[in-house]
């Protein structure tokens, strides 16, 4: 029996979670049960996998377990960009290999469709908007990144619009950015509201257990999963718990649990909205990957996301939250001098899972164990599609997209500790310093 050493334990102050519709979480599992399929993790990946498994195996019960409450973990903590375009941060033009980029675009557009259909079918109140995204640059080096991105978009045959400072200000209110490349295909959502809604819309043959952390596992012809009040015996296990998969003995030394952080203001009053100007909602992505992501939400709050830390135990500390908050205040003050009296109401961190070669994992991990893991910060689309296609593959499908995911490179091996922590921490520090005013 393997004990699961690292369990998720996110901080309480996630603004998206507290400002999304309240729901009654499903009770924790009490006692023992057995099922043909057990899915661990109810984020984008696990919810999509459970939903599709339920459709493809209508006579089986699908068990979905989540250590925390749905909407409280990383899936409810992100910035809510559901992006169509490839975002290969390893490539100078963010597009990289054109064949992979075309498939990625197709995959992410299919994920957008799944999300849109689910929202409409179940009337999920998550502010889904076809808003596009503004990729913004503050300094000449950021503009050079956007110019390279423009060349990548042209290779891919995708639409974009350049916006210079004055015109951009009419869209976003701020005069802070020099230039932006606007791409129209991105959807924006309230992420916690979306996953809460998706959990409540699961098919009737999915049994969801929240506040049910899997604390031990025994692999064999059947898989036994321990939790606080008993165990579950599964014919097949699907791991949809992102970086926490390495605690289950898989992809060890290949995954990088990196936290990133966000702060959300109180709602702006009418005078403050007028002082800011621009459109009533928008989403901004930085030119520099270490810069700040921003959202203006439908309920007129502003969100700043930046800062990263390497947390191999899957938890961030109070000191890291405090440092991130201080950086958010600085980034906010630089951008919103007209909104001096507006303060942050919430600050939170969320665990991402990165790999050094920016590749996810999709496929079989061991006999009867499967996974769609390592989101590389793009889990709204990649997780949704990974979970959906993994279920189809388990049902026997072998289409073009499944072949693409199965044939993709896997997360590469990392150097051993302590060199790994030294290297990752150094690179994060350097990246954050180099981001300069983009942060």
Using CB under 6 A, list all residues that contact ligand FAD: 4, 7-8, 40-46, 65-68, 73-75, 77-81, 213-214, 240-242, 244, 260, 262, 305, 350, 352, 375, 377-381, 383
**CB of 306 or CB of 392, closer to ligand FAD:** 306
Q: How far is the CB of 350 from ligand FAD (least distance, A)?
A: 2
**DSSP class of residue 271?**
H
Count CB atoms within 10 A of the CB of residue 22: 9
Q: Give me the least distance between CB of 119 and ligand FAD, in Å please.
A: 16
User: Is the Cβ of residue 272 or residue 348 nearer to ligand FAD in the bound state?
Assistant: 348
**The Cα angle at residue 368 between residues 384 and 218, in degrees rounded to 5:** 110
Closest CB to ligand FAD among residues 75, 95:
75
DSSP 279-335: -SSEEEEESSTTS-EEEE-TTS-EEEEEEEEE-TTS---HHHHHHHHHHHHHHHHHH
What's phi and psi for 154, nearest 5 deg? -65, -40
Provide the minimum distance between the beta carbon of 83 and ligand FAD in the complex, in angstroms, as a whole number. Answer: 6
Inter-residue contact 260 to 286 (CB < 8 Å): no
Q: Which residue of this chain has its Cβ atom nearest to ligand FAD in the complex?
A: 379
Q: How far is the CB of 355 from ligand FAD (least distance, A)?
A: 12
Nearer to ligand FAD, 241 or 292 (CB): 241
C-beta atoms surrounding 56 within 10 Å: 17
Q: How far is the CB of 419 from ligand FAD (least distance, A)?
A: 26
DSSP state of 189: -
Per DSSP, the three-state class of 36 is strand
Shortest distance in whole angstroms from residue 275 CB to ligand FAD = 27
Question: Tokens in use for 248?
Answer: 């289950």
Nearer to ligand FAD, 272 or 306 (CB): 306
With respect to ligand FAD, which residue has the nearer C-beta, 207 or 272? 207
């Amino acid at each position: 029996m393997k004990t699961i050493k690292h369990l998720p334990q996110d901080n309480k102050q996630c603004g998206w979670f507290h400002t999304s519709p309240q729901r009654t979480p499903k009770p924790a599992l009490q006692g023992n049960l057995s099922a043909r399929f057990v899915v661990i993790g109810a984020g984008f990946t696990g919810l999509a996998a459970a939903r599709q498994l339920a459709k493809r195996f209508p006579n089986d019960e699908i068990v979905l377990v989540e250590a925390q409450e749905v909407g409280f973990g990383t899936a409810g903590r992100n910035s809510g960009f559901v992006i169509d375009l490839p975002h290969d941060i390893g490539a100078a033009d963010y597009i990289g290999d054109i064949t992979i980029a075309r498939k990625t675009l197709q995959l992410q557009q299919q994920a957008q469709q799944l999300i849109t259909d689910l929202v409409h079918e179940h009337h999920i109140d998550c502010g889904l908007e076809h808003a596009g995204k503004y990729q913004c640059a503050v300094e000449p080096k950021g503009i050079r990144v956007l110019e390279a991105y423009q060349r990548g978009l042209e290779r891919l045959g995708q639409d974009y619009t350049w916006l210079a400072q004055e015109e951009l200000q009419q869209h976003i209110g701020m005069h802070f950015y020099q230039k932006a490349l606007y791409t129209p295909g991105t959807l924006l959502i309230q992420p916690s509201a979306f996953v809460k809604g998706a959990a409540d819309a699961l098919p009737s043959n999915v049994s969801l257990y929240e506040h049910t952390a899997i604390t031990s596992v025994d692999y064999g012809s059947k898989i036994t999963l321990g939790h606080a009040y008993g165990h579950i015996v599964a014919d097949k296990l699907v791991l949809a718990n992102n970086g926490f998969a390495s605690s289950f003995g898989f992809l060890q030394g290949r995954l990088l649990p990196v936290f990133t952080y966000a702060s959300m203001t109180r709602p702006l009053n009418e005078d403050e909205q007028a002082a800011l100007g621009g459109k009533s909602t928008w989403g901004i992505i930085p030119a520099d990957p270490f810069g700040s992501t921003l959202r203006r939400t439908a309920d007129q709050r502003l969100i700043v996301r930046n800062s990263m830390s390497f947390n191999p135990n899957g938890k961030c500390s109070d000191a890291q939250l405090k440092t991130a908050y201080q950086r958010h205040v600085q980034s906010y003050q630089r951008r919103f001098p007209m909104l001096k009296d507006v303060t942050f109401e919430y600050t939170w961190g969320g665990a991402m899972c990165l790999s050094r070669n920016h590749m996810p994992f999709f496929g079989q991990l061991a006999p009867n164990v499967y996974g769609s893991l390592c989101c590389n910060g793009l889990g709204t689309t990649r997780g949704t599609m990974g979970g959906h296609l993994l279920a189809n593959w388990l049902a026997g499908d072998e289409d073009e997209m499944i072949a693409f995911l199965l044939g993709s490179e896997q997360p590469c091996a990392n150097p051993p500790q302590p060199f790994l922590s030294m290297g990752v921490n150094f690179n994060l520090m350097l990246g954050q310093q180099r981001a300069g005013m983009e942060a």
